[in-house]
Amino acid sequence: MKEEIVKLIKLQAIDSEIAGFDNIIADHQAVLAGREQAIVEKQEAITVFRGKIELLNQKQQETKSEHDEAGIRVKDRQNKMMQVQTSREHQALLKEIEENKRVYKETEDRVLQFIEQIESLEEEVATLENLCSGEQQLLTEEVEKVEKEIKRIESTKKAIVNQREKEAAALEAPYLKRYAMLLDKRDRLAVVSVNVNVCQGCYMALPPQQVIEIRKAEKLHTCPTCQRILYYKTPEDMAVEK
Ligand SMILES: [Zn+2]
């Protein structure tokens, strides 16, 4: 039995190492995904700003037309002034001229405001576009670096996976089956040590009698709480783990 337990400890050490490689790869990929997301968010902001600019351009053109029309009406009424006969007609035309002059001035101010708003949004778009292209360039370089790094990790991992196959094959089938099931269900940690009567998988205390049995290592013991395979940590075991 002791032999099988030692094999299980070895296998767990290898699987933990493999999990470590997978975590490093996942971390690298998460960093890249985060940077990509930051670029996407800026691109979305650019799209929103462009939509606003288009709307403001439309409003600016409409206001400009109103302005031009008011100008034409002022000239038209001023021409008509020369032909009016009565004071009532004269007063009515004067009123129209004043009203159109007011519209002429008011629309001119609004056109200028629209132009200012458009210019400020265009500046923001230009700033964001600059940031995006800079970040995109850096990201492309980073992706290249990370891909190389991942390839390096994968090749190291491959050698360890090969070693794992050999170790797993040396284990009796029922143990391997139980081990594999635990590895899958218990976050890639199936074999854990007992340290001062505490399971190092779930950190729950074990019955003292069971700890004595685990030390004897005459049969396979599992934690009553997390079902992980237990072994008593001796200096020898620690050497195996390293
Ligand atoms: Zn446990």
3 state SS of 193: strand
Q: Quote the pTM value.
A: 0.73
pLDDT at 90: 94
**Do 57 and 118 touch, CB atoms closer than 8 A?**
yes
Q: Can you give the pLDDT of all 242 residues of the chain as single tens digits?
A: 788 999 999 999 999 999 999 999 999 999 999 999 999 999 999 999 999 999 999 999 999 999 999 999 999 999 999 999 999 999 999 999 999 999 999 999 999 999 999 999 999 999 999 999 999 999 999 999 999 999 999 999 999 999 999 999 999 999 999 999 999 999 999 999 999 899 999 999 999 999 999 999 899 999 999 999 999 986 565 555 54
Tell me the CATH number of domain 14-169, given options 1.10.1040.10, 1.20.58.1910, 1.10.287.1490, 3.90.79.10: 1.10.287.1490
β-sheet bridge partners, residue 199: 194
Ligand 1 center–CA 10 separation, angstroms: 19
Ligand 1 center–CA 159 separation, angstroms: 31
Own/partner long-range contacts of 111-115 (Cβ < 8 Å, ≥24 apart): 111/60, 111/63, 111/64, 111/67, 114/56, 114/57, 114/59, 114/60, 114/63, 115/60
Ligand 1 center–CA 203 separation, angstroms: 6
Ligand 1 center–CA 198 separation, angstroms: 8
Ligand 1 center–CA 181 separation, angstroms: 15
Ligand 1 center–CA 184 separation, angstroms: 15
Ligand 1 center–CA 200 separation, angstroms: 7
Ligand 1 center–CA 187 separation, angstroms: 13
3 state SS of 233: coil
CB neighbour burial string for 7-28, b if at least 16 within 10 angstroms, e if fewer: bbbbbbbbbebbeebeeebeeb
Ligand 1 center–CA 20 separation, angstroms: 21
Q: Which of 171, 146, 147 is nearest to 14 (CA)?
A: 171
Ligand 1 center–CA 222 separation, angstroms: 8
Considering the chain, tell me which residue range(s) the CATH 1.10.287.1490 domain(s) occupy.
Answer: 14-169
Ligand 1 center–CA 149 separation, angstroms: 36
pLDDT at 196: 87
